[in-house]
Amino acid sequence: MTTPFHLTGKVAVITGSSRGIGRAIAETMASLGAKVVISSRKAETCEEVAKAINAKGGEAAIIPCNISRKAEVEALVAKTRETFGRIDILVCNAAVNPVYGPLANLPDEAFDKVMGSNVKSNLWLCNLVIPEMAARGDGAVVIVSSIAGIRGTGVLGAYGISKAADFALARNLAVEWGPKNVRVNCIAPGLVKTDFAKALWEDPANLAARNAQTPLRRIGEPHEIGPVAAFLASPAASFITGQVIVADGGVTIA
């Protein structure tokens, strides 16, 4: 039997893939046969990832992009097509969180930055890429959201609002493009040991408290999220669309 857990011959664009969850997604997809585009704001931060993938026999290209700038988003898509000829998989992973504290103290500029980078840029990317997928009758989009979009928080409100909006974005795009066999899903990771979330896990007391509230008694690692994204992009998930897949060690059900 041929395994459905493969991405042979597919071209995947992964934003925010120079480190953390994005890097894990790129490495996993490359190991399953995809040609991957490593993208972050600066090309030099992507070099280590691409070099490691290519050294293992994979195929990775570097195309820098600041996802908050529409011209750079358009260039990312155009240069990917120039390099690999097509885009089969889009992973919207890049995100920002410039503020920490209650919503009562949230500056308008910070809210606009969070929503622009975490939601609007995803819509830009999808609108640029999905029509091509629809024309071929096949494609997959994975938006990396967060359980912050499911649970209330006293300190990450704007981020949580943006991540909840990503759920709605995925559902609406799934409805619009499902008839053309384009699937759109979200992953909602819990706390994962990344630099992005360092403020939430580097303090031993905070980490111990979080572990005590989590059924698996630990936080996640980036390599545990990469395969979830790869699964959603693969033929193994061909009947899954518009869904939010939670990967949080069970913390939201405890």
Does residue 3 sit within a domain? no
Q: What is the 3-state secondary structure (H, E, C) of 107-159?
A: CHHHHHHHHHHHHHHHHHHHHHHHHHHHHHCCEEEEEECCHHHCCCCCCEHHH
Task: Say whether pLDDT at 114 is over 80.
Answer: yes
User: In this structure, is residue 5 part of a structural domain?
Assistant: no
Strand partners, 14: 38, 91
pLDDT at residue 73 greater than cutoff 90 = yes
For the chain, the farthest-separated pair of C-alpha atoms sits apart, in whole angstroms, at 57
Which domain covers residue 238, as residue numbers?
Answer: 11-253
Q: Which contiguous run of DSSP H or E holds residue 51?
A: helix 43-55
Edge-to-edge strand list for the sheet holding 35-39: 59-62, 35-39, 11-15, 89-92, 139-144, 182-189, 244-247
Question: Is 159 within a domain?
Answer: yes
Predicted confidence at residue 197, as pLDDT, reads: 74
Residue 139, in any domain of the structure: yes
Q: Which of 84, 124, 159, 231 is catalytic?
A: 159
pLDDT at position 134: 98
**Weakest-pLDDT range from 6-10, 25-29, 196-200:** 196-200
Q: What confidence tens digit (pLDDT) does each residue in 141-193 have?
A: 999 999 999 999 899 999 999 999 999 999 999 999 999 999 999 999 999 99
User: Is residue 138 in some structural domain?
Assistant: yes
Q: Is the pLDDT of residue 87 over 70?
A: yes
Q: Are 116 and 70 in contact (CB under 8 A)?
A: no
How far apart are alpha carbons 239 and 21 in whole angstroms?
A: 24
Active site residue 159: yes
Bigger pLDDT: 207 vs 200 = 207
Residue 241 in domain: yes
Task: Specify the pLDDT at position 1.
Answer: 54
Percent of the chain with pLDDT over 70: 100
Answer with the residue of higher pLDDT: 205 or 136.
136
Q: Which of 48, 74, 101, 187 is nearest to 110 (CA)?
A: 101
CATH number, domain containing residue 29? 3.40.50.720
Report the pLDDT averaged over residues 80-91: 98
* Domain annotation covers residue 1: no
State the total domains in the chain. 1
Instruction: Establish if 81 belongs to a structural domain.
Output: yes
Of 69 and 197, the one with more pLDDT: 69
Average pLDDT, the chain: 96
pLDDT in tens, 125-147: 999 999 999 999 999 999 999 99
Residue 203: predicted pLDDT: 84
